[in-house]
Amino acid sequence: MQDPYGDDQTPLPYQAPTQPAPTPYQDAPGQVHPPPYMPPEAPRRPAGGARTGAIIALTLLLALIFGVGLFAGWQFGRTSNTGTNTSALQTGTAPAATVPPLTGNNLQAVREAVIAKVKPSVVQVNVTLQGNSGIGSGVIVDRRGYIVTNNHVVNGAQSIEVVLYDGTRLQAQLVGTDPADDLAVLKITPPSKGLTVATLGDSSKLQVGQEVLAIGNPLGITQTVTNGIISALGRSVSEGQGGATIANAIQTDAPINPGNSGGALVDLQGNLVGIPTLSAIDPEFNTPANGVGFAIPSNRVAFVVPQIVASGSVTHTGRAYLGVRVTDVDANLAARNNLSVDHGALIVSVVSNGPAASAGLQAGDVIVQLDNKPVNDSQSLTDILVNENPGSTVAVKVYRGNQQLTINVKLGELPSGS
């Protein structure tokens, strides 16, 4: 896979919350080789200036980018042309609890009903690796036994065992993976009594402040439920060099710990709205930051999983494809390269016959605006492209030497397997 990011790539401080099986309270993920990102060990320091410095450092890291590469922008069911198709999934379920409408005085009863409805669809995923083992979570999304989880949970697995809600242990086969989205699909043979299947919700309708529950196997403690709210929407989160980039990620303060990966993030109607995947890392103490977790939105799951079920792979990525590699422009880079501007995204290279090359963009161009939105660095370019659709035409304003040009680019779709 060609690296879709810029040359100066500094991973954001995130880690995927996976957990080794033998010692459930040990903090080192077992499934990731290497883990998506693990900052250097930092000695514990007293609060005060050091803590302020760490906060500033984290803010700067979150503002940095790794370059926007060959893709940016995903379709998540925001419009009718997304290609989202759940018809490949058979969602009929074994009897499940019903959830009463939320009123002003029945919040606890609603939570209990949601948990009763969703818990039987959440499984534990035990993975045997080369000389190691690991634990993650998964969600049953098809009555034929198809389960969605994170790719990093099963990556490199020699064997996979699924533990159902009632303790039944079943061998699972890996149907297919989508590393670019950090998603994977497993298949088990359903027991005679059938399976409880999660209901996929519409993540495009989520609102900041909305209450959600996270269900999974944190730290190897099975069938654990945590609650919180939607803290933010539309985040672009990277798992680090060579890892997936989750666009439109759901940020939540519902605790997500090692072992939660691949589990369920649900709303108070009992709908699956996300797959918990990452937690932010506090760079001062090299530990997960409290209340800063991220989930893959359910609309992306609804887009990807039916393709894997139908063919074993992702045939249509739904990601906008620009066909460039870029890096941040700052005053130092501008001075070294004699650029006309001290901000923007410098094109390092263009993909032959890609959308950018076909439109006339060149290496050395500095992108300063896209679709009438300012581009101050690579991250802002990513944020703009996340909301663009494959096939749409966007106006890209660039500096080429001292000349300012506006070039219309028809965005492509990232080829599967890229």
Phi, psi for residue 308 in degrees, rounded to 5: -65, -40
Structure tokens given for 196: 């409880």
Residue 328 annotated as catalytic: no
Residue 203 annotated as catalytic: no
Q: Helix, strand or coil for residue 118?
A: helix
Alpha carbon distance 165, 191 (integer Å): 12
- Choose, from 121, 261, 298, 380, the residue flagged as catalytic: 261
C-alpha distance from residue 21 to each of 28, 182, 276, 363 (Å): 10, 21, 19, 48
Nearest C-alpha neighbor of 257 from the set 228, 282, 293: 293
Q: CA torsion sign, 38 to 41 to 44 to 48?
A: negative
Nearest C-alpha neighbor of 164 from the set 200, 193, 128, 199: 193
Residue 261 annotated as catalytic: yes
- Choose, from 142, 178, 181, 182, the residue flagged as catalytic: 182
Angle at the Cα of 259 from the Cα atoms of 256 and 263, rounded to 5 degrees: 70
Nearest C-alpha neighbor of 277 from the set 291, 288, 292, 263: 263
- Choose, from 152, 238, 267, 383, the residue flagged as catalytic: 152
Q: Active-site residue numbers?
A: 152, 182, 261
